[in-house]
């Protein structure tokens, strides 16, 4: 299963008026990073970066002035994201902005059925605990030392590690086929049930002759050998 863990940075918080200014994505295949990634800065046509947003991501109007418009990168974006399950933290925020950009170009929105949101996943797994990306990185010992401010690509790399931990940690990647995974919206390994004991034990494959020889040998081992505690009753031993 192909997945893209992604993040965006924007000029502000209003998806109807503000614009996407950075997109980052990291590709996973069966929950294992492939090394492929997507990253671009975007010039927000007709929109200035809000000071509060600048404090978060540090992307200035001057820095973005020579970057491509969303319309200039949409094909590359679609090629990378189009066939994958998309994973984001607080995905509603990112998807509103991306779908608003797509709508401005007359393109269809990305459906919610393709989205996995790690924020509710974290809240279900750790009720009442902080569920920010920073808090989850701390919980799972994900290294954030390379990160000074929020950035779409670095946050995608961090979230990819968090996501793998949320779905069961590194051991989840040892499953070998898509049949052993949950569906698109789940991203979890199948919840295998422990096998129930047999109602009637299988008959012993030890012959009566072998059993007698073993008992004779054990009798030479001293006063209280451990073996007799594990012996089947003589009548349970298969006849030769």
| Residues acting as catalytic residues | 150
CA distance 234 to 193: 34
DSSP state for residue 219 in the 8-state scheme: T
Q: For residues 117-146, b (16+ Cβ closer than 10 Å) or e, as one string?
A: bbbebbeeeeeeeebebeebbebeebeeee
**DSSP structure string for 68-87:** PPHHHHHHHHHHHHTTSEEE
Q: Are 26 and 6 in contact (CB under 8 A)?
A: yes
Show the beta-strand stretches assigned E in the chain: 2-10, 20-29, 32-41, 85-88, 115-117
């Amino acid at each position: 299963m192909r997945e893209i863990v992604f993040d965006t940075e924007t000029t502000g918080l209003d998806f109807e008026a503000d614009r996407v200014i950075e997109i980052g994505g990291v590709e996973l295949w069966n929950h294992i990073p492939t090394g492929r990634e997507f990253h671009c800065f975007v010039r927000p046509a007709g929109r200035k970066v809000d000071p509060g947003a600048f404090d978060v991501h540090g992307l200035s109007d001057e820095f973005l002035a020579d970057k491509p418009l969303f319309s200039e990168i949409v094909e590359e974006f679609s090629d990378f994201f189009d066939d994958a399950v998309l994973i984001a933290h607080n995905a509603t925020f990112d998807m509103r902005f991306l779908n608003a950009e797509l709508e401005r170009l007359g393109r269809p929105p990305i459906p919610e059925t393709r989205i996995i949101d790690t924020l509710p996943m974290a809240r279900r797994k750790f009720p009442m605990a902080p569920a920010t990306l920073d808090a989850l990185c701390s919980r799972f010992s994900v290294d954030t030392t390379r990160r000074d401010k929020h950035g779409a690509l670095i946050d995608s790399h961090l979230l990819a590690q968090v996501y793998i931990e949320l779905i069961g940690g590194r051991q989840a990647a040892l499953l070998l086929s898509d049949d052993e995974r949950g569906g698109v919206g789940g991203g979890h390994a199948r919840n295998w049930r422990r096998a129930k004991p047999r109602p009637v034990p299988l008959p012993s494959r030890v012959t009566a002759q072998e059993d007698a020889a073993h008992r004779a040998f054990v009798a030479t081992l001293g006063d209280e050998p451990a073996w007799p505690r594990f012996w089947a009753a003589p009548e349970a031993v298969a006849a030769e």
